[in-house]
Amino acid sequence: MSAAIPSARVKICGLSTPEALDTALTAGADWIGLVHFPRSPRHVDFEKASRLSAQARGRVERVVLLVDPDDALVRAAVESMDPDLIQLHGRESPDRVAAIRALAGRPVMKAIGVATPTDLEAIPAYAAVADRILLDAKPPPGAALPGGNGQRFDWAILADAVLPAGTMLSGGLDAGNVAEALNRTGLGAVDVSSGVESAPGLKDPDKIAAFVAAVRAAAG
- Catalytic (active site) residue 22: no
Task: Look at residue 68 in the predicted model and tell me its pLDDT.
Answer: 97
With respect to residue 4, please indicate whether it lies within any of the assigned structural domains. no
The answer to whether residues 42 and 14 touch, using CB atoms and an 8 Å cutoff, is yes
**pLDDT at 3 > cutoff 90:** no
Confidence of residue 151 (pLDDT cuts 50, 70, 90): confident
pLDDT value of position 213: 96
Mean pLDDT of the region 68-87: 98
Share of the chain above pLDDT 70, in %: 91
Mean pLDDT of all residues in 50-60: 97
45 is known as an active-site residue: no
Domain-embedded: residue 1 = no
Residues 8-18 as b/e (b if ≥16 CB within 10 A, e otherwise) read bbbbbbbbbee
Domain interval for residue 151: 9-219
Q: Is residue 190 part of a domain?
A: yes
Share of the chain above pLDDT 90, in %: 88
Q: Is residue 203 part of a domain?
A: yes
214 found inside a domain = yes
- Strand segments, DSSP code E, in the chain are 9-12, 31-35, 61-66, 85-88, 108-114, 132-137, 168-169, 189-192, 197-199, 202-203
Q: What is the CA radius of gyration of the chain?
A: 16
Q: How many domains, in total, are found in the chain?
A: 1
Contact (CB, 8 A) for 73 and 96:
no
pTM of the model: 0.92
| pLDDT above 80: residue 148 | no
Give the confidence band of 1 by pLDDT, cuts at 50, 70, 90: very low
pLDDT for 2 equals 40
DSSP state of 169: E
Q: How many residues does the structure list for the chain?
A: 220
Determine the longest span between alpha carbons in the chain, in angstroms: 45
Cα distances from 186 to residues 10, 168, 182, in angstroms, run 14, 10, 5
Look at residue 71 and tell me if it is in a domain. yes
State residue 204's pLDDT score.
Answer: 97
Structure confidence at residue 73 (pLDDT): 98
CA-closest candidate to residue 129, choices 164, 171, 160:
164
Q: Is the pLDDT of residue 111 over 90?
A: yes
pLDDT at 97 over 80: yes
- Does residue 2 belong to any structural domain of this protein? no
Whichever domain contains 61, its CATH number is 3.20.20.70
* 3, part of any domain: no
Is residue 63 over pLDDT 60?
yes
pLDDT at 149: 54
DSSP letters for 12-51: E----SHHHHHHHHHHT-SEEEEE--TTSTTB--HHHHHH
Query: Tell me, what's the pLDDT at 139?
Result: 76
Across the range 172-183, mean pLDDT stands at 96
Strands 189-192 and 9-12: parallel
- Short-list 25, 22, 170, 196, CA closest to 109: 170
User: What's the chain's average pLDDT?
Assistant: 92
Residue 4 has pLDDT above 50, yes or no: no
Residue of 30, 45, 136, 206 marked catalytic = 136
